[in-house]
Amino acid sequence: MNIKILNYGIGNLGSIVKLLNSFDNINVEIADDKNDLKSSDLLILPGVGTFPSAIKNLQKKKLFTFLKKNIKDGLPVLGICLGMHILSKGSDELGYNEGLSFFSGNVIKIPNFNCNVGWNDVLDNKHRKFGNFYFQHSFFLKKKSKDEIAKFTYVDNLKIISYLNKKNIFGVQFHPEKSQIDGYMFFENFLKQI
């Protein structure tokens, strides 16, 4: 499998590369060239940074429209944290900015709290344990739809979507590359779906 991690000036690329390199029959490359990205079996949008900076960098590299077209045409994509937010309709972070609009709903600030940093038990839609994952975010995707696969309950009974899937489009709020054995197991199961 040929996996490309999109370099758009945002994210912890090295950690994702290191984790994916632990799997057999996987070729992982960091890329921002349109031809390289188009030929991938899976594109990963990494996730550390701010939404407006990410969108601005995508537009500067002329990748925003490219992503919209190629993902719509069936290119498998996994958005991690901020990468998942980019796949949404838009975000209120530092003023409203439009996303790629593959997932409905907007990204908003976690109310009354600055940031959710740490480990959370994530449950699937049947309330079974999906995994224990590491989170680091202060914004979350506010929506409820059939795309939702797993979530966790935060302070004040706030449900935070942790895993989404819509056809060839996947998104996780957590950081599998920082989630040790459960992060490895997530990727092990996820890669079988691609």
* Nearest to 42, CA basis, from 9, 82, 83, 12: 83
User: Residue 113: pLDDT above 90?
Assistant: no
Share of the chain above pLDDT 70, in %: 98
For residue 38, give every residue at least 6 positions away whose Cβ sits within 8 Å of its Cβ, in sequence order, or none: 70, 75
Question: Quick one: average pLDDT of 63-91?
Answer: 96
Structural domain including 119 reads: 2-191
Which of 9-13, 65-69, 115-119 shows the lowest per-residue confidence on average (mean pLDDT)?
9-13
pLDDT tens by residue, 142-177: 876 677 789 998 888 889 999 999 999 999 999 999
Identify the pLDDT of residue 136: 94
Count of domains for the chain: 1
Judge contact between 120 and 174, C-beta under 8 A.
Answer: yes
User: Is there a contact between 99 and 64 (Cβ–Cβ < 8 Å)?
Assistant: no
Catalytic residues: 81, 175, 177
The pLDDT value recorded for residue 185 is 96
Residue type, 137: H
Distance, CA of 153 to CA of 156 (rounded, Å): 8
pTM score, whole prediction: 0.94
pLDDT tens per residue, range 175-194 = 999 999 999 999 999 999 88
Mean pLDDT along residues 47-76 = 93
Q: CA 94 to CA 168: how far, in whole Å?
A: 29
Do the beta carbons of residue 151 and residue 190 sit within 8 Å? no
pLDDT at 144: 66
Average pLDDT of the chain to the nearest whole number: 92
d(CA 192, CA 194): 6
Return the CATH number at 54: 3.40.50.880
Integer angstrom CA distances of residue 57 from 49, 64, 80: 11, 9, 17
Identify the pLDDT of residue 145: 66
